[in-house]
Amino acid sequence: MAIIIYHNPHCSKSRQTLALLTERGIEPAIIEYLNTPPSEVELDQILDMLGREPEELMRKGEAEFSEHIKDKGLSREEQIAQMVKYPILIERPIVINGDKAAVGRPPESVLDIL
């Protein structure tokens, strides 16, 4: 099964994580999630693999967080829907290997799932 990275080429941690994988001979499937965000079902599965709730995977410094999430009392499903609608909210990078996932912050944290 292919390893997948939800990647933002403008993010240094995302670039470092991708480099870490390729240095180990791994050529992951690269999904530039800002252009191709995961579906609500996919994001729900990713959250389950990570053992996190939606807000734990959100970039709280983004304007979209303040505008669409913060203090809104949204359900899990509503938070996921907002993350799909505004993918800039999704923390990056996320690496998936089969039924395991890790956030590359720091990049070395993805080594646990390889």
Q: Active-site positions?
A: 11
Q: Which residues contact 73 (CB under 8 A, 6 or more apart)?
A: none
Residue 23, helix vs strand vs coil? helix
Distance CA 15, CA 73 (A): 34
Give the burial string for 12-40 (b: 16+ CB within 10 Å, else e): ebbbbbbebbeeeebebeebebbeebbee
In angstroms, the CA 93 to CA 75 distance is 24
